[in-house]
Amino acid sequence: MPNCSPKIEHDLFKDLIGMMKKIRGSGYNGDIPAFSASLSKSQNLGSNTNVLFDKVWTNVGNGYSTQTGVFTVPTGGLYQISCTVVGASGKTLRVHLWKNEQKTVGLYPNLANFNSATLNMVLDLKEGDRVYIRHGNSQSELVYNEPGTDSSMFSGYLISK
């Protein structure tokens, strides 16, 4: 199991938004796109399936869709994107961060004891770009979630225009 609770992850995200407001020198007025979503239950993934993080914590700018698992960039600029996934014990899990139709970095939790993997990327995104987590293995795999833990998550926010 991951060492960081969903509440700590949520509080960290809120703290980061607060720091961004101070750095920018202006009050928050809804113009900083940001999203944070987690899995409420385990999800079986077929080939080329997006992970659907269905529990939305934050969705400023309404860029994230729980229906598709895609964050569509509402305002261009540099974005911090992060994701943590948990693999089921003894099972493989291979997912990647995608930008539009381009595969970027991968997440591969190892086979033992419900291990997690985390990515953090800064991406230069244009308005309308699409960012998502996609399963790329031809065999079905499972993103694991212990009920009530929201341990697999996906988030991003604008850090600079």
- Looking at residues 46-75, what average pLDDT do you find? 96
pLDDT above 90 covers a percentage of the chain that reads 57
Average per-residue pLDDT for the chain: 86
82: closest CA among 4, 161, 157, 3?
157
Check residue 3 and give its pLDDT.
Answer: 59
In a domain, 41, yes or no: yes
List pLDDT tens digits, range 96-153: 999 999 999 998 887 667 788 899 999 999 999 999 999 987 788 889 888 888 889 9
- Confidence check: pLDDT of 71 > 50: yes
Check residue 31 and give its pLDDT.
Answer: 75
Instruction: Decide: 107 and 83 in contact? Cβ < 8 Å.
Output: yes
CB atoms within 10 A of CB 16: 16
List pLDDT tens digits, range 14-53: 777 776 666 565 444 557 999 999 999 999 999 899 999 9
pTM: 0.80
Check residue 27 and give its pLDDT.
Answer: 47
List pLDDT tens digits, range 136-146: 877 888 898 88
In a domain, 1, yes or no: no
In a domain, 70, yes or no: yes
In a domain, 92, yes or no: yes
119: closest CA among 144, 94, 148, 147?
94
In a domain, 78, yes or no: yes
CA dist 160 and 75 (Å) reads: 10
Q: Which residues contact 99 (CB under 8 A, 6 or more apart)?
A: 123, 125, 129, 130, 131
In a domain, 82, yes or no: yes
In a domain, 49, yes or no: yes
In a domain, 142, yes or no: yes
Instruction: Decide: 7 and 55 in contact? Cβ < 8 Å.
Output: no
CATH of the domain at 55: 2.60.120.40
Domain count, the chain: 1
Instruction: Decide: 35 and 65 in contact? Cβ < 8 Å.
Output: no
Q: Which domain holds residue 104?
A: 6-160
